[in-house]
Amino acid sequence: MIRLLIAAISGGLFGAGLAISGMTDPAKVRGWLDIFGAWDPTLAFVLGGAILFMAIAWRFKTPRQPAPSAPVDGRLIGGAALFGLGWGLSGLCPGPAMASLTFSGPSVVIFFTAMAAGMALFGIWSKRV
């Protein structure tokens, strides 16, 4: 029960951070990605803040065995390309899309539904292959 509470608090904090930073605004994200057009550099502060806090966290983390790494293959490259294409076209990725469900319009609901359906279809397809 306590783990669920901690998970809910962590998820809420993450969602609030996404909303406050502007990561749930597709126009702001598309502006960040448009480096040769009307580039909006404000999300650089979000990324810089994340790097700063992670650098501090890594300094104090407990050493662990490294996880075995998977090879870079066509599935990884294809998945990364699809992720980037979806992010660039919609201005949303999974975390901000989920956080936006509570206050955004039908376009985010459509994006999230399509994303969830794609994940489910991939799960079914990967079991068959």
Say if residue 129's pLDDT is above 80.
no
Question: What is the pTM for the complete model shown?
Answer: 0.64
Q: How far, rounded to the nearest angstrom, does the alpha carbon of residue 43 sit from its chain's CA centroid?
A: 14
How confident is the model over 29-86, as pLDDT tens digits? 888 888 898 888 888 888 888 899 889 988 888 777 877 888 899 988 998 998 888 8
Integer CA distances (angstroms), 79 to 83, 84, 102, 110, 128, in order: 6, 9, 27, 20, 18
Q: Where are the domains of the chain?
A: 2-63+73-128
Of the pLDDT bands very low, low, confident and very high (cuts 50, 70, 90), residue 94 is confident
* pLDDT of res. 88: 82
* pLDDT of res. 24: 83
